[in-house]
Amino acid sequence: MVKHQLLYMGYHYFTDSPYKLNAKPREIDVRIIDQNYDGSDRMDNDIAYLFERHNLVELKNPYEDLDIDVVWTGISYAAQYKGSGYDDTLKKSGVDIIPMSGVTLTFLRVYKPRDLFRRMRQIGYGVTQAFPGVYYITGMADIKMQVVVGRELKGEEFAPIRIQKKNAFGEDIKAFVKRTERMKDRHMRELADSVMQISISENRSLYDRLLEEESSMCEALRELLNDQIEKEKSEAVSEAVSEAVTATANATQEDIARKMIEIGDPLDKISRVTSVTMERLNEIVKMLAGASARG
């Protein structure tokens, strides 16, 4: 009935079945809950100063894009989190059990997303630097939101973020390694290993030098670096095998193409059958003609 009413009002519909917005599970990378927060105080931390009771954090590694659509996707996840109608920390459900005023959204990235900030300002959204490396975003949605640029952060507590950039500081790496040695929680160790993997890939020569110069570097780091070396070797072998298979397949197709040329099949047919390009087929024709002339 509704679709007919919409059509009568001048709207055109494509389908009356539900439209799936996302095939993958909706997940936020990190959720930080301040169970004792009452709104009367702010944390003495540049990133956490914005925080309320429910704080959602999206982590972007140096190779992931952070554009306007990624931000809107994060906002939609925050809206779904608020609209779930259930606060699992309180074990309570109900309308507005999680008020939007109690939710924040943070995008954490090593490098400044200059194109994103430029686009936001063009649209009319606010981009304000609150602290070194911390930018508040306003005007997009009814939610407290910030973009954190890791390489600009100051203070030892932010070393885990800074070490993911190229040309990281050796002191930051050593401080982070010492911190990981004290970690007992398995999930925290896994997160630390992920950070270290990115850092190693960005600063390989620095890690090699530190391992030579610093006898105190923990054995776990040495194992992690060895794991990275083995991973790179495995990826190199896989790439070489893939290239060899592709080259063999291409060679086989060209052998078929040569035989078809020799029996006089038209080039457009040969190209369809073998997937060899017309340009390459013309080269093969010239080569065969040259070989015939020399014979």
- Residue 54: phi and psi, rounded to 5, are -110, 120
pLDDT at residue 41 is higher than 80: no
Domain boundary among 139, 154, 169: 154
- Decide: 134 and 47 in contact? Cβ < 8 Å: yes
**Alpha carbons 131 and 134: distance in angstroms, whole number:** 5
- Decide: 22 and 76 in contact? Cβ < 8 Å: no
Are residues 30 and 141 located together in one domain of the fold?
A: yes
pTM listed for this prediction: 0.62
Tokens standing for residue 211:
């391992």
- Structurally, the chain folds into a number of domains equal to 2
Show the domain range for 107. Answer: 26-154
Are residues 42 and 150 located together in one domain of the fold?
A: yes
pLDDT at residue 102 is higher than 70: yes
Are residues 30 and 146 located together in one domain of the fold?
A: yes
198 within domain boundaries: no
pLDDT at 18: 56
7 within domain boundaries: no
Are residues 32 and 146 located together in one domain of the fold?
A: yes
- 98-102, 236-240, 279-283: the lowest-pLDDT one: 236-240
289 within domain boundaries: yes
**Alpha carbons 118 and 96: distance in angstroms, whole number:** 34
pLDDT at 171: 80
- Residue 266: phi and psi, rounded to 5, are -65, 150
Tokens standing for residue 240:
């070489």
Q: 72 pLDDT band (50/70/90 cuts)? A: very high
Residue with token string 């993911």: 164
pLDDT tens per residue, range 132-170: 999 999 999 999 999 999 889 887 778 777 887 777 787
Q: Rg for the chain (alpha carbons), in Å?
A: 28
CB contact burial 85-105 (16+ within 10 A = b; e otherwise):
eebeeeeeeeeeebebebbbb
pLDDT at residue 25 is higher than 60: no
Tokens standing for residue 242:
């893939």
Domain boundary among 109, 132, 154: 154
For residue 75, the one-letter residue type is I
